[in-house]
Amino acid sequence: MIEQLVFVAVMAVSIWLFARNLGKIRRNILLGKDVDLSDNKAERWKTMLKVAFGQTKMAARPVPFLLHLIVYVGFVLINIEVVEILIDGVFGTHRVLSVLGPVYNAAIGFFEWLAFGVLVACIFFLCRRYVVKLARFRSPELSGFPNRDAATILFVEIILMAALLCMNAADQLLQIRGHEHYIAAGSFPVSSWLLLPLFESTNLSDGLLIGIERAAWWFHILGIFAFMNYLPFSKHFHIIMAFPNTFYSNLQAKGQFNNMASVTQEVKLMLDPSAATPEGYQPPTSFGVKDVQDLTWKNLMDAYTCTECGRCTSSCPQNNTGKLLSPRKIMMDVRDRLEEVGKNIDDHKGTFTDDGKNLHTYISEAELWACNTCNACVEACPVNINPMEIIVEMRRYKVMEQSAAPQSWNMMFNNLENNQAPWQFSPMDRANWTQEA
Q: Is the pLDDT of residue 174 over 80?
A: yes
When pLDDT is averaged across residues 316-323 and rounded to a whole number, the result is 94
| Phi and psi, residue 133, nearest 5° | 55, 65
pLDDT band at 410 (very low <50, low <70, confident <90, very high): confident
Mean per-residue pLDDT of the chain: 90
Q: Is the pLDDT of residue 29 over 70?
A: yes
Identity of residue 181 = H
- Residue 326 and residue 383 in contact, taking contact as beta carbons nearer than 8 Å: no
When pLDDT is averaged across residues 281-305 and rounded to a whole number, the result is 91
Q: What percent of the chain has pLDDT over 90?
A: 59
Give the per-residue SS3 of 233-256: HCHHHHHHHHHHHHHCCCCCCCCC
**Which residues neighbour 151 within 8 Å (Cβ) at sequence distance 6 or greater?**
126, 129, 130
Q: Is the pLDDT of residue 284 over 80?
A: no
pLDDT value at residue 22? 95
pLDDT value at residue 45? 96
**Which residues neighbour 225 within 8 Å (Cβ) at sequence distance 6 or greater?**
10, 11, 14
pLDDT value at residue 75? 80
Q: Is the pLDDT of residue 85 over 70?
A: yes
Q: Is the pLDDT of residue 47 over 70?
A: yes
Q: Is the pLDDT of residue 246 over 70?
A: yes
When pLDDT is averaged across residues 287-296 and rounded to a whole number, the result is 93
Cα 303 to Cα 301: distance, rounded to the nearest angstrom: 5
What SS3 class is residue 296? Answer: strand
pLDDT value at residue 418? 85
When pLDDT is averaged across residues 189-216 and rounded to a whole number, the result is 89
Cα 119 to Cα 71: distance, rounded to the nearest angstrom: 8
| Phi and psi, residue 340, nearest 5° | -65, -45
Q: Is the pLDDT of residue 257 over 80?
A: no
| Phi and psi, residue 276, nearest 5° | -75, 135
- Residue 236 and residue 151 in contact, taking contact as beta carbons nearer than 8 Å: no
CA torsion, ordered 406, 412, 413, 416, to nearest 10 deg? -170
pLDDT value at residue 404? 86
Q: Is the pLDDT of residue 58 over 70?
A: yes
Cα 224 to Cα 14: distance, rounded to the nearest angstrom: 10
- Residue 307 and residue 327 in contact, taking contact as beta carbons nearer than 8 Å: no
| Phi and psi, residue 33, nearest 5° | -70, 150
When pLDDT is averaged across residues 229-255 and rounded to a whole number, the result is 91
| CB count in 10 Å sphere of residue 289 | 28
What SS3 class is residue 411? Answer: helix
When pLDDT is averaged across residues 24-32 and rounded to a whole number, the result is 96
**Which residues neighbour 85 within 8 Å (Cβ) at sequence distance 6 or greater?**
217, 220, 221
Q: Is the pLDDT of residue 437 over 70?
A: no
What SS3 class is residue 33? Answer: strand
| Helix, strand, coil percentages for the chain (3-state, nearest 5) | 70, 0, 30
How distant is the alpha carbon of residue 49 from its chain centre? 16
Q: Is the pLDDT of residue 258 over 80?
A: no
pTM to 2 decimal places: 0.87
pLDDT value at residue 316? 95
Range picked from 83-87, 138-142, 391-395, 401-405 for highest mean pLDDT: 391-395
When pLDDT is averaged across residues 90-107 and rounded to a whole number, the result is 88
- Residue 248 and residue 37 in contact, taking contact as beta carbons nearer than 8 Å: yes
pLDDT value at residue 397? 93
